[in-house]
Amino acid sequence: MNSQLSRRQLLEAGALGALWVGTGCSRRRSAALAPPGATDTTDPDLVVRLKATSAQLRVDDASDSLTNVLRFEGSRLAGPSDAFSQDDSRYLGPTFRVRAGQRVRVLFENALSEPSIVHWHGLDVAEVNDGHPRFAVDGGGQRPYELHLEDRPGTYWYHPHPDRLTGHQVLAGMAGLFIVTDGDDDARGLPAAEFDLPLVIQDRIIDGAGQLVYAPNPMLGFLGDRVLVNGRTSASFDVRAGSYRLRLLNGSNARIYKLAWSDGRPVQVIGTDGGLLAAPLTRPYVMLAPGERVEVWADFAGIGDGVWLESQPFTIGGSMMGGGMMGAGRSGGRSLPNGASFRICQFAVKEKGTRLPIPRQFSPLAWRPPGEVVNRASPRRFAVSMAMMRWVLNGELFSMDDVAANERIRLGVTEDWEFANTGGMMTTAHPIHVHGGQFQILERQVAPAWREAAATMDEGLVDAGWKDTFLLRPGERVRIRVRFAKHAGLFLYHCHNLEHEDMGMMRNFRVEG
Ligand code: C2O
Ligand code: CU
Ligand code: CU
């Protein structure tokens, strides 16, 4: 926070925050303590207005109806034109393409009739820029962001993060990509911009009138009956018979994908949440949980006229909460359970292209040395379970400013954390996400009773890169290594099944400087 602000200014800003956020809900009671929006006098490289608004546009190409959506509408106020682009015929928010090291000013404007706030998923930003629900602004409100991108080049994204409304707003269309580059991809031997294809994968239910249906299963979250890519149904991409870099984001509320090629060739993975791996990896398929990203090298030469990206069957677990249970959509479609198989999108080969050799390696990843970990012998533990029919973290639900003793961490210290999904009879898979940048995944252990189900996913877990979200399966313990070195303050960790998050499967942690 700006140390120039007087106590009086802080109080005023806090009071303003309270007006914006409104009252009437106990989780919002601490809004008056919210710091004001970011201020920074350094000239930004890119200035954009980002408006949360409602719109009517085409979602289902097979239908004549327009669909009511909520979306981020962007406009560039200053900066290079290639840093920011939006397809206004589809619901997704603008895609940012920004150089590492640059500064971006975002003027967020909430034109909805409900509170909202933007979170920059995966980016390491200051507390006031992180989109914590206590910063939510009511309809008509605004909040400025100052993002200084000191992150690794990679595929990040942004989405709303208001308390209890995140699942509904994302489902209605609010999400966008935030790509950080460094201009060295040519030198790395990666495909040129024209062959760099971002794919946002989301499932939805569209009713007979062409409208999105949000009827989440109370325990499993929202599971749609069809899959959309980049905001369209039955997506097909015309490609050249050459090499591509695919940036895949699972922007779904609760659906987990087991991504594979329809012709049986392996998946060549070059990057994860926090950018490129040290070297490409070859997998038969790749698991992608909500919030996760994976970058794939695709070669469309020598495959005839096309190939499908599909999701293959897998088993979440053996309990009643497992993949076999149908989520009941109240109207229209029947949800496909998690673990069902279906096609995602088609790549139709239309022209000759350029085949590049897949690079043998990228740069080594700068992991923190094990010697600096302060708690290797007894990691900070987080139990993932269910209490009173709600998913909880260490037995607790989200509360706006609540920080437990186990949720305070010192700035600049390296720690190991362990998440254990060993909650007894009722269990399911949870994509665990930690705000405040990227971490390393150290190890996974699945309890014997759950190994058979886990084996349907094992070979598709890519734990070798920098991560901000990972899939925690039933009966599994995952150990990660974290370090928060840049920003003190209140941040979040939560399940990225958005219905679980909205239900309170989210907690604060405080980085103390
Ligand atoms: Cu992508 Cu706190 O979320
Ligand atoms: Cu996040
Ligand atoms: Cu969850």
DSSP calls for 277-297: EEEEEEES-EEE-TT-EEEEE
Amino acid 49 reads R
Question: What is the arrangement of strands in the sheet containing 142-148, beginning at the earlier edge strand?
Answer: 67-78, 46-57, 103-110, 142-148
Nearest atom in ligand 1 to 492's CA: 2
Nearest ligand (C-alpha, residue 124):
2
Nearest atom in ligand 1 to 161's CA: 2
* The predicted structure's pLDDT at residue 334: 79
pLDDT single digits (tens) 295-333: 999 999 988 889 999 999 999 975 544 443 333 333 346
Distance of alpha carbon 152 from alpha carbon 320, whole angstroms: 41
**CATH class in words for 193-352:** mainly beta
**CATH class in words for 370-512:** mainly beta
Which residue do the tokens 């974290």 mark?
Answer: 482
Which regions of 262-337 does DSSP assign to beta strands (E)?
267-272, 275-283, 286-288, 293-299, 306-311
pLDDT single digits (tens) 22-64: 333 445 434 444 557 776 667 899 999 999 999 999 999 999 9
pLDDT above 60: residue 481: yes
DSSP label at residue 89 = T
Residue 52: strand, helix, or coil:
strand
pLDDT above 60: residue 277: yes
One DSSP character per residue, 361-403 reads --PPP-PPPGGGBTTSSS-EEEEEEEETTEEEETTB---TT--
* The predicted structure's pLDDT at residue 304: 85
Q: How far is the CA of 45 from the centre of ligand 3 (A)?
A: 37
Q: How far is the CA of 186 from the centre of ligand 3 (A)?
A: 39
Residue whose CA lies nearest to ligand 1 atom number 3: 121
Residue 15: strand, helix, or coil:
helix
* The predicted structure's pLDDT at residue 305: 85
pLDDT single digits (tens) 326-366: 333 333 467 999 999 999 999 999 999 999 999 999 999 99
Q: How far is the CA of 439 from the centre of ligand 2 (A)?
A: 12
Q: How far is the CA of 161 from the centre of ligand 1 (A)?
A: 7
Which regions of 407-488 does DSSP assign to beta strands (E)?
408-410, 414-420, 430-434, 440-446, 469-472, 476-483
* The predicted structure's pLDDT at residue 101: 97
Nearest atom in ligand 1 to 506's CA: 2
Q: How far is the CA of 492 from the centre of ligand 2 (A)?
A: 8
Per-domain residue ranges of the chain:
7-183, 193-352, 370-512
What is the CATH number that goes with domain 7-183? 2.60.40.420
What Å distances lie between residue 368 and 344, 425, 439, 440, CA to CA?
37, 37, 10, 9
DSSP label at residue 6 = -
Question: What's the number of CA atoms in the CB half-sphere (13 Å) around residue 418?
Answer: 15
Residue whose CA lies nearest to ligand 1 atom number 1: 121
Q: How far is the CA of 163 from the centre of ligand 1 (A)?
A: 12
Nearest atom in ligand 1 to 159's CA: 1
pLDDT above 70: residue 424: no
What integer is the mean pLDDT of 234-245? 97
193-352 shares its CATH topology with 370-512? yes
Q: Ligand 1: residues within 6 Å at CB? A: 119, 121, 159, 161, 291, 433, 435, 492, 494, 496
448 class by beta-carbon count within 10 Å (0-12 exposed, 13-18 middle, 19+ buried): exposed
pLDDT above 80: residue 14: no
What integer is the mean pLDDT of 172-176? 98
Give percent of the chain above pLDDT 70.
88
DSSP label at residue 100 = T
Nearest atom in ligand 1 to 157's CA: 1
Categorize the per-residue pLDDT at 242 as very low, low, confident or very high, splitting at 50, 70 and 90: very high
Q: How far is the CA of 492 from the centre of ligand 3 (A)?
A: 14
Distance of alpha carbon 352 from alpha carbon 319, whole angstroms: 49
How far does Cα 418 stand from its chain's mean position?
Answer: 21
* The predicted structure's pLDDT at residue 35: 59
